[in-house]
Chains A and B, each alone.
Chain A
């Protein structure tokens, strides 16, 4: 049952500014704003409209159960963060470490199962043959040169969860803003061409949204300005895109799932703290990896599985394990222990995916506003900057007694953003990934072209989205169609996704679980992610068209599901969804291969507001 169909009395409260989502962008916004809200004599520098005499009333609603349950292993130049905190002391932030050395490493295929084009197989053979004169070590080639646009010489390594906790503790201690975790926001309140506030998600409902006797309708939060920082799959941001326009349909080709672990490295590990290793080439050419060494022998590591990896059973978890087991990485990881695990969707379209950034009563910041830079491999600092710039604009408007109209936000926030380094670098990067739509080599070439020519040269975009190949096409010459049919039949009868069986059949070795670092996917959820889902909310993943699910031959939503929360339904129709395993990565939203009959630009999965998810503050 939707909000619209319920006839209920909703409570209302009025604030000056309501923020949606506590990510790095909102953290930047609230920090910058709170530094200016009070005068040194204790009087409000900016007076509240809804509570005259008091400072601006600013609230932030976050879906996750804690302000620190974010996911990202961050290497960043931290230009914007350092501007906000000029006296930043890394010792104050758990796990924060200065970058000391960087490696860019090409990983050869030590197994022979990787789906490599001929030129990569040739490259592997050549590198092995010349290993005595090349910087070769354990099936890997350390590149002697790292392009300047990728380097993070003066950068920082952060755990986003720990950074969030650190920022939030200062914000809360100031008493000037309120951050409410465990409070999902369902939708924006739109009147005409203006946003008037947000509506919180209903509580006391069954999984399908039917009110129970403890029904508590989501409250309406009326606000002069709604700051939308709910990330790339947030329901408020997507609703605003529907209403006010946004990124083009090509956004379906501009995603990735980032899956990561935080690991206690073994005592014999010799990697110095501050080490940054970026990898490419394995386990599949399309998959990139990272390993960052924090202080105290803790590492953050993971892979990115992009939407242009045209594998109908692409799955991040199994590939992550094969990546860790690569000899070049395993030499450092063997004997390590899993501390934390998580996954998230990354909106990699950057400026090309930029939605309408402002409107009457709203402004968008952070990753959902297209701030991620895929050329420099950076997003957190960029997101922070968008929030800081919006705060500057808000302060200016509020001090002048001006409203948060589209016109006023255009003259302030938009002007600041367009004049910032964020915009300059986003423009350079906007076409950097086009080459990957044509292939791996052209992708690397395209990145280099865009990077070295400051965006003047780049590959053209493909006009139409790739069609996902069928299983039979993808595994041609490796697994016979009859075997695929048998595996599909057996797995679907058990409600299992196919990737494990198919990868094993295609030559990937079984993972040798050690119950410390190499653990089952479910143990990663329980030990690393500690995933939780409160009852009383409706399910947040909906399969809108069971007939399309029935006809779907690949069920990529289940294959790519980061937490195995979505599984094929043995009885056909809609897949099963178990929200107690959902990490809210949102991969189902863009991995669904079925278009809505009424809107081909949308997939047949709806991803709504929901509570819970990861319970780890170290990611």
Chain B
């Protein structure tokens, strides 16, 4: 496709998954204990979507990547200092909560507004990328709702690969049960792809890309509109972290079969 794609990647931020998370009631509803103290990262599934978008854009001249992110502006800016070195994109920030204790329709509506405000966005070139799932406490339905709002009916979830065929159609591999992929072909944009982990490694940090991105990221952040997002009308019956039991043992060079056998034994206990 010579004219290129307009790839819009929707990516929120989440607390660095390595942090200790503890749900607590706050005056404004559920949240995480010390949430603003926690370092944040781009939602890992959405980050893979960004890498795939950058890869596709690089292979398809004339393409452009937009990163649409609903997050507290200050936290988003901090995250951008890492993400901006990975791939070239134009940031479309929306200032608002990224706690995950939000209502998916409201989030999708805010993202819709932001996408519709992108100057020069061509629906006929539009690939809407995002994470198949989210490391936040979101319902995992935002991308689908957003796709429907944009009246994009070709939607694929759990995508691991997207290949452009010579005729411009897209071949898409979706995860299905049993470790297999379902292969689909659609004629092309507009299309929604909810990415799983994909096949690409995390790109190295490239300071030149970072500095180039930063020329547009900073003004965009300064102009970011605030979205009123909450969880009005949503009732959380209970909120809790998955129970975890931890046992650590350091073993070097153990065989895979041996590790699997030991884990099974441990689970059965």
| A interface residue numbers (CB < 8 A to B) | 11, 13, 59, 61, 65-69, 94-95, 162, 165, 168-169, 172-173, 175, 178-183, 200, 203-204, 214, 216, 219, 221, 339, 495, 515, 520, 522-523, 526-527, 530, 532, 534, 536, 564, 576, 615-618
Contacts and interface: CB of A to CB of B under 8 A. Distances in A.
A216 B204 contact: yes
Interface in B215-242: 218, 222
B78 A615 contact: no
Given A66-B39, A94-B36, A527-B246, A13 B78 contact: no
Given A615-B39, A616-B18, 6 more contacts: A94-B37, A172-B81, A178-B210, A178-B211, A515-B246, A617-B19
A173 B205 contact: no
A180 B81 contact: yes
A204 B206 CA distance: 12
Nearest to A183: B205
B222 A530 contact: no
B248 interface: yes
A179 B81 contact: yes
29 contacts: A13-B208, A59-B211, A66-B39, A67-B78, A69-B39, A94-B37, A95-B37, A165-B37, A168-B78, A169-B77, A169-B78, A172-B81, A178-B214, A180-B81, A180-B82, A180-B205, A181-B82, A183-B207, A200-B207, A204-B204, A219-B208, A221-B207, A339-B20, A515-B246, A523-B246, A532-B18, A564-B250, A615-B19, A617-B38
Contacts of A67: 78, 81
A220 to B, nearest CB: 10
A165 B78 CA distance: 9
The 7 closest A-B pairs by CB, nearest first: A530-B18, A203-B204, A94-B37, A522-B248, A617-B39, A66-B39, A175-B218
Contacts of A175: 218, 222
Contacts of B211: 13, 59, 178
Nearest to A12: B208
Nearest to B85: A180
Interface of B: 16, 18-20, 34, 36-39, 74, 77-78, 81-82, 85, 201-202, 204-208, 210-211, 214, 218, 222, 246, 248-250, 252
A65 B82 CA distance: 8
A68 B39 contact: yes
A530 B37 CA distance: 15
B35 to A, nearest CB: 10
A339 B210 CA distance: 33
Contacts of B39: 66, 68-69, 165, 615, 617
Contacts of A179: 81
B217 to A, nearest CB: 10
B20, B202, B246: residue with the most chain A Cβ atoms closer than 10 Å: B20
Contact of A216 (B34, B201, B206, B218): B206
A2 B27 CA distance: 55
Contact of A203 (B16, B19, B205): B205
Given A183-B85, A618-B37, A173 B204 contact: no
Contacts of A532: 18
A172 to B, nearest CB: 5
Contacts of B34: 94
Given A66-B39, A162-B37, A181-B82, A530 B19 contact: yes
Nearest to A218: B207
A11 B249 CA distance: 44
Contacts of B37: 94-95, 162, 165, 617-618
Contacts of B78: 66-67, 165, 168-169, 172
A535 B246 CA distance: 26
A15 B210 CA distance: 14
Nearest to A520: B248
Contacts of A204: 204
B86 to A, nearest CB: 10
A496 to B, nearest CB: 9
B207 A66 contact: no
A509 B18 CA distance: 32
Contacts of A183: 85, 205, 207
A593 to B, nearest CB: 25
Given A180-B81, A183-B85, A339-B20, A169 B74 contact: yes
A501 to B, nearest CB: 16
Nearest to B34: A94
Contacts of B201: 214
Nearest to A170: B74
